[in-house]
């Protein structure tokens, strides 16, 4: 009995030491995250009190953003909104920072809706993907979104600008703030960057006009997310969305297959996105047998060596499946040696008509 008690005591002390060591390792990140939070709050206060002035475009501005770092489906939401507004003969353009693109600081016209004037490296992978998907929609990139928005308005006579990843860009006045929250990831560990994934304190949700729970499996709100929303945004409409697989593209031949082409096939899933787990989840829902997962960092720029490494699994998988976002960055790499297919998706909003009416009510006001 005494020996058993001693063992429990030793185990307890060992766990305490591990916990203390972990806290010490994370302490610098916690301190930096607190400093980051104070800076973010100070900046917001300066705008709220009018010390720093918001700039206003001559057209309506709809922001699509989130509270956390990546992985909530902002780009598919922007594409969805652009297409729906186009259907209603509303002249719509897109403003993107062009994150990690060479033209991010200088800015410029990525697409006039017909021609694409930048490479993925110049524009950033997600803006370039939008330009490829959205015929007839002008797309401007640049850190100074007011200047690029004004350029787009004057050149194309836009009625509406969609501000891609714009929730924290409070320097530009917007008419509607759509905030996406991932059903799978929520707010992470509820810590600010770099200790956690939050881009600003959670109370910033109070600025939201509409909340969308993305990658939702049902209409039920995840408990922790629901509690925070009931506390901070009790009067804000909440919707659910999910990815709807649309097609599979074989780049080598240009052949397009229906999504159920994956059923029963052994696949290697590879992606450089913020939430690769959800991509794999969608493949499994389509009936694919995922025999290998290869995860690259978000916004990864592919090199020939990446494909060589994946080629070692040729004897295990029939198909190598990736995302549209990754395909943008693969187009300068020789892909013919591998059986690569690209999964195309669209955003699907549950109660989509109600959601669109909320958006349109702001545009026609």
Whether 163 and 187 share a structural domain? yes
| pLDDT value for 23 | 59
Looking at the DSSP assignment, which residues form a beta bridge with residue 177? 63
Q: What's the rounded Cα separation, in Å, for the pair 355 and 362?
A: 12
For 194-233, give one letter per residue: b (16+ CB within 10 A) or e: ebbbbbbeeebbebbbbbbbbbbeeeebbeebeebbeebb
Q: Which residue has the higher pLDDT, 4 or 79?
A: 79
Q: Look up the CATH number of the domain holding residue 78.
A: 3.40.50.300
pLDDT at 157 over 70: yes
Does 8 share its domain with 120? Answer: no
pLDDT, tens digit (0-9, with 9 covering 90-100), for 4-35 = 455 554 454 455 454 545 556 667 888 899 89
pLDDT of residue 5: 54
- Same domain, yes or no, for 248 and 208? no
Query: 47 with 93, same domain?
Result: no
| Mean per-residue pLDDT over the chain, rounded | 91
Residue 197 is inside which H or E element, if any? Answer: none
271 and 189 share a domain? no
Instruction: Give percent above pLDDT 90 in the chain.
Output: 79
Residues 137 and 213 in one domain: yes
Asked if residue 222 and residue 196 are part of one domain, the reply reads: yes
Confidence at residue 25, expressed as pLDDT on a 0 to 100 scale: 66
The residue from 51, 68, 87 where one domain ends is 51
The verdict on pTM exceeding 0.75 is: yes
Overall domain count for the chain: 3
* Rounded CA separation 75/99 (Å): 12
Least confident of 78-82, 113-117, 308-312, 359-363: 308-312
Q: Looking at the structure, do residues 133 and 256 belong to the same domain, yes or no?
A: no
CATH number at residue 331: 3.40.50
* pLDDT average, residue stretch 269-276: 94
Q: Are 127 and 262 part of one and the same domain?
A: no
Same domain for 46 and 165, yes or no, is no
Selection from 23-27, 29-33, 79-83, 348-352 with the highest mean pLDDT: 79-83
Picking from 66, 86, 107, the residue whose alpha carbon sits closest to that of residue 160 is: 86
* pLDDT tens profile 216-259: 987 677 668 988 999 999 999 999 999 999 999 999 899 999 99
pLDDT, residue 2, reads: 44
Q: For 300-316, how does the pLDDT look when each residue is reduced to its tens digit (9 = 90+)? A: 999 999 998 899 999 99
Give the integer Cα–Cα distance in Å for 64 and 296: 25
Joined together, the tokens standing for residue 134 give 């959205």
Residues of the domain holding 124: 60-242+349-363
Q: Do 236 and 103 reside in the same domain of the chain? A: yes
Query: Do 205 and 326 belong together in one domain?
Result: no
Mean pLDDT of 93-115: 95
Phi, psi angle pair for 312, to nearest 5°:
-65, -15
């Amino acid at each position: 009995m005494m020996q058993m008690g001693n063992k429990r005591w030793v185990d307890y002390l060992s766990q305490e030491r591990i916990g203390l060591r972990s806290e010490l390792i994370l302490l610098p990140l916690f301190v930096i995250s607190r400093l980051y939070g104070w800076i973010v709050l100070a900046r917001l206060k300066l705008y709220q009190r009018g010390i720093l002035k918001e700039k206003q475009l001559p057209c309506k501005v709809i922001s699509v953003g989130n509270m956390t770092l990546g992985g909530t489906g902002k780009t598919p939401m922007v594409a969805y909104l652009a297409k729906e507004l186009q259907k209603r003969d509303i002249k719509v353009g897109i403003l993107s920072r062009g994150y990690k693109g060479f033209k991010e600081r200088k800015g410029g016209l990525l697409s006039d809706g017909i021609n694409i004037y930048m490479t993925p490296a110049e524009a950033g992978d997600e803006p370039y993907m939008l330009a490829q998907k959205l015929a007839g929609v002008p797309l401007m990139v640049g850190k100074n979104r007011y200047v690029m928005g004004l350029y787009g308005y004057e050149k194309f006579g836009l009625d509406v600008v969609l501000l891609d990843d714009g929730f924290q860009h409070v320097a530009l006045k917007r008419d509607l703030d759509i905030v996406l929250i991932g059903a799978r990831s929520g707010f992470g560990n509820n810590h600010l960057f770099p200790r956690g994934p939050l881009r600003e304190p959670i109370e910033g949700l109070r600025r939201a006009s509409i909340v969308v729970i993305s990658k939702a499996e049902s209409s039920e709100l995840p408990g922790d997310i629901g509690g925070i929303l009931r506390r901070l945004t009790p009067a804000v409409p909440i919707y659910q969305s999910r990815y709807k697989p649309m097609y599979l593209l074989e780049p080598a031949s240009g052949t397009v297959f229906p999504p159920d082409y994956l059923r029963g096939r052994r696949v290697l899933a590879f992606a450089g996105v913020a939430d690769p787990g959800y991509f794999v989840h969608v493949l499994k829902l389509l009936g694919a047998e995922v025999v290998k997962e290869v995860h690259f960092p978000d916004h990864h720029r592919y090199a020939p060596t990446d494909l060589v490494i994946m080629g070692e699994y040729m004897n295990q998988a029939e198909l190598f499946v990736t995302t549209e976002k990754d395909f943008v960055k693969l187009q300068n790499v020789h892909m013919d040696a591998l059986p690569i297919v690209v999964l195309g998706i669209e955003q699907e909003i549950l109660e989509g008509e109600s959601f669109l009416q909320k958006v349109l009510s702001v545009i026609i006001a």
